[in-house]
Structure 1
Amino acid sequence: MTAKLIDRRFHNVAGKLRVSELFFDVPVDYSKPAGDTLRLFARSIARKNTPIEPSEESKGGKLPWLVYLQGGPGFGCGTPQSYPWVDFILSKGYQVLFLDQRGTGLSSTITAATLALQGDGGKQAEYLKNFRADNIVRDCEAIRKILTNDYPEDQRKWSILGQSFGGFCAVTYLSKFPEGLREAFLTGGLPPLTSGPDPVYKKTYGNSTIDFPFEEPHADQRIEKVKQRNEAYYEKYPEDVERVKRIMRYLKENKVKLPSGLLTPSRFQQLGILFGFHGGVDSLHDIVVRACNDLDIFGFLTLPTLSTIDGNGGMDKNIIYALLHESIYCQGQSSNWSADRLRANDRQFEINDSVPTIYFTGEMVFKDMLESYTELGEVSTAAQRLATIDDWPALYDESQLARNTVPVYAATYMEDMYVHFDLATATASKIKNTKQFITNNIYHDGLRSKSGEIMRQLFNLREDTID
């Protein structure tokens, strides 16, 4: 067995949840099972009370497992009770495993200091190659075998719920270990089956100089989501056109420090990541109003404003997001700072007064982050090396997906700024036994912001109750 359970402790939460905290050791590199190990952390939850009439499958305490695959890459799980969909899942008779993916949360956390233990930048990059979806699902499969070891053989499969990047991991799971899965739920997480990030970001930037390596669905109806959300923002708050330009001028002329680094104009521009969430347009407007109010009254940005801006970055506390963000799309080719290259060819993202409006960027990662985030600057050599690696192994097996027998239920959002609708639906068509709930009024964070509707629709697909 490639994973080992190190510790397991139980406690109750709010009188209704039975929580188990688990620690595992797994190989850093599964091709070298006797080599170095990682410590993984997970929490499992189940209802504390026992139903009067337990299901046949749950008799004897053998509740079916559902594993939550977190978005990211690079973010750990929150506390179980912080997820609004938990009660719904527990009511369906599951117990849920919240796994901090390798390198995140309490699972051998990746920081500049912990990476330094690996040696120079080249060695750090080689180490980080083990932190993509392919090894995340190997971790899951190794843990599944431990947690279901005493289950009847026909009940050892488990279900997965993948949000965003967690959905990418779920499709990797379907490609590599379908025998371990009972069913897969995906929310905003159908990955583009591409070899690199260029086609993904072309959908964002609409740059005509980059050719797609595959046939695009709806190519004549290209919707560039980041630009669309910028236009929606400025349409709702037209007064912010000049406010944003004023803030950018101030940041160009002044060195503004943040707890995590420097507030450069391009870093302020990155607040466009908020556009992908429900309420994100209003949240960004609030920041812009605060910043301009500071400049009007004091001539500088105050600590509360700077703290708000810094809190909407997160690259210093979750550096895997920046270091591996583009590589999550790579199969046999390098990323070569894809978002940076495409942004440079689009004047609408330029930071100067000559453009009618200064557009904010989205969730993409840029080279200048290595200068504006202190923590990223300490691993810049590893970041540069990761951008040039061209031997990334395959994450998806399209032939396996074409003959997939695991039921897949996917919530797909037409207005998703992070996982483009066209690319997601193209992937859905390539995974056999996939059913989709498609909506045009929910954004990427639907699982959190609209959890009741999302879970109800996914289980309608599962129970086949839709006429």
Structure 2
Amino acid sequence: MRVQKGMFTMALLAKYYVPGLYVEERAIDVPLDWEQNTPGDSIKGETIRLFCRVISAPEHAHDDLPLLVFLQGGPGGQCPRPLSPSSDGWIQEAIKYFRVVLPDQRGVGRSSRVDASTVKRMADDGVSVERQAWYLKRFLADSIVRDFEHLRLTEFNAKPWVSLGQSYGGFLTLTYLSLFPQGLLASFTTGGIPHVPANALEVYEHTFPRMARKTEQFYERYPQDVARAAAIADRISQGDVFLPNGEKLTVERFQTLGSSFGMKPSFERVHWLIDSAFSDGDGSLKAFKHGGGTADGYLSDEFLYGVMDATSSSPLYWPLQEFIYADGELDHPIRWAAQQVRETMPEFAGSARPLLFTGEAVFPWMFDQQKALQPFLPAVDCMMSDMQFGKIYDLDQLANNEVPLQAAVYFDDLYVDSGLQLDTLSHISNSHYWTTNEFEHDGVHGDFVFRHLLEEAKNRGDLESIYK
């Protein structure tokens, strides 16, 4: 079904029910390049598709409830595919009051997906590396937020909405507040206030010490894994261990299992994966070493499949990882900021003991070792030397912000430093925060965090215009 709205054509692709939810699927065209375009106006130039789902409680399927748009984490993360209201805790609370809009960010999910084959086709067609880099830069926050504002203006009758940003979605929230505050009635963020001005090197200077502490906490909980992780690393370092997809397993890739340490129950997942590593005898470290251990012992298929799955990601997650900190004209190129910091910390070497795990950080070797990333390397390397990016934050606008902003700041957040979050919030007018050490970075997926933020906003009168 296609429905005309003025000069725009929007597509209602499907409508259906999943247990406890009414779902509509929609899609619109957006410009690949927003430079010559304005949200809400007719589009000039090449277009891509922006896909979204709109969900509501079945009893509100046709009610004109206020809108809440969910800004997904990432980069490169697709919006939730809910199995039921309770499958993602914040949804269960949100549908009591809102129609919830779940857009897949451009290049992700069903929004003109970009993956290795996309970039490979460009290279095969003779597209220059510089043009490939230009293309990837179109999938950052300045374009994403313009997509969402265009969606609001053309698909939802320009009705202002409430936003909820999780992790990188909080970064997008500040971009939205900077560029189009008139589109927002109120904003909520969970574990996602970036430090502004943005600086990738600063981020990783905070991340690596936290990651060392997280590894220490992991070993305190599972002390037997100190020796087991070391034995696994010793075996991998022999250079003849391959994952089921044919990629060679390296120690540095094994170390990236720590990327999940900022969420629950990641310690347990990594522990049980390490527990499954040895296929000799009773699976103990003693049996492994007796059977050849660091030279000839075997690592189990279960372990290798687990590592392969745990260290794979959505296609744009690693290629765009460091560029989410690029705001306008840079003072200096990013040049693999995480790798720069790691090289100053020998305790993170693959040969160091105890073996430390690494966090949410992208390294050049990933683009050599992982087939799904290899086609991206020339363009990403080009971007690492670039100093011109889209402007994503307006410091003056944020300092004079009138949109109520309520943030959940997780004190022990592995990925987004709480001290840096609070520093940014101190410079944003009309912002409020709740600091807690009860939750990890993914706390919003439970049933308390969003409900608490919503109640605080209600009690201040921030949502008065919605609940008249």
Normalising by the residue count of structure 1, what TM-score does the alignment of the two structures yield? Answer: 0.87
Q: SS of 1:314's equivalent? A: coil
Matches within 5 A, 1:285-324: 285-293=271-279, 296=287, 299-315=297-313, 318-324=314-320
Structure 1 residue 3: deviation in Å?
A: 9.6
Inter-partner Cα distance in structure 1 for 2:379 and 2:6: 28
The code of the aligned residue for 1:310 comes to M
Please name the residue that 1:225 is paired with. 210
1:435/1:461 contact within 8 Å kept: no
Please name the residue that 1:137 is paired with. 145
Inter-partner Cα distance in structure 2 for 1:140 and 1:2: 18
Inter-partner Cα distance in structure 2 for 1:302 and 1:235: 25
One of 456, 459, 462 as aligned partner of 1:461: 456
Matches within 5 A, 1:116-265: 116-118=120-122, 119-149=127-157, 156-205=159-208, 224-258=209-243, 259=245, 261-265=247-251
The code of the aligned residue for 1:129 comes to K
Structure 1 residue 260: deviation in Å?
A: 7.2
Inter-partner Cα distance in structure 1 for 2:162 and 2:237: 50
Please name the residue that 2:262 is paired with. 276
Inter-partner Cα distance in structure 2 for 1:261 and 1:402: 49
Inter-partner Cα distance in structure 2 for 1:287 and 1:120: 42
2:130/2:382 contact within 8 Å kept: yes
Distance change in 2, residues 1:190/1:86 (3 Å): same
Please name the residue that 1:384 is paired with. 381
Inter-partner Cα distance in structure 1 for 2:240 and 2:143: 41
The code of the aligned residue for 1:326 comes to E
Structure 1 residue 465: deviation in Å?
A: 6.8
The code of the aligned residue for 2:63 comes to G
Deviates more, 1:173-182 or 1:16-25: 16-25
The code of the aligned residue for 1:345 comes to T
Q: SS of 2:312's equivalent? A: coil
Number of aligned residues: 428
Structure 1 residue 85: deviation in Å?
A: 1.8
Distance change in 2, residues 1:442/1:38 (3 Å): same
Q: SS of 2:70's equivalent? A: strand
Inter-partner Cα distance in structure 2 for 1:260 and 1:123: 31
1:3/1:146 contact within 8 Å kept: no
Please name the residue that 2:322 is paired with. 326
Structure 1 residue 225: deviation in Å?
A: 1.7
Deviates more, 1:283-292 or 1:439-448: 283-292
Structure 1 residue 265: deviation in Å?
A: 0.6
What are the ranges of 5 or more consecutive residues in structure 2 without an aligned counterpart?
Answer: 38-43, 292-296, 462-468
Distance change in 2, residues 1:454/1:18 (3 Å): same
1:319/1:376 contact within 8 Å kept: yes
**Structure 2 residue 341 is matched with structure 1 residue 342:** yes
Inter-partner Cα distance in structure 2 for 1:249 and 1:121: 38
The code of the aligned residue for 2:102 comes to F
Distance change in 2, residues 1:16/1:240 (3 Å): closer
Inter-partner Cα distance in structure 1 for 2:426 and 2:367: 38
2:195/2:421 contact within 8 Å kept: yes
Distance change in 2, residues 1:260/1:322 (3 Å): farther
1:197/1:326 contact within 8 Å kept: yes
Q: SS of 2:298's equivalent? A: coil
Inter-partner Cα distance in structure 2 for 1:2 and 1:336: 46
2:166/2:444 contact within 8 Å kept: yes
Distance change in 2, residues 1:335/1:237 (3 Å): same
Structure 1 residue 307: deviation in Å?
A: 1.5
2:50/2:106 contact within 8 Å kept: yes
One of 405, 415, 418 as aligned partner of 2:415: 418
What are the ranges of 5 or more consecutive residues in structure 1 without an aligned counterpart?
Answer: 52-59, 206-223
**Structure 2 residue 56 is matched with structure 1 residue 46:** yes
Normalising by the residue count of structure 2, what TM-score does the alignment of the two structures yield? Answer: 0.87
Q: SS of 1:438's equivalent? A: strand
Please name the residue that 2:428 is paired with. 431
The code of the aligned residue for 1:46 comes to S
Structure 1 residue 308: deviation in Å?
A: 1.2
Q: SS of 1:320's equivalent? A: coil
Please name the residue that 1:18 is paired with. 22
Structure 1 residue 434: deviation in Å?
A: 0.9
Please name the residue that 1:63 is paired with. 65
The code of the aligned residue for 1:444 comes to H
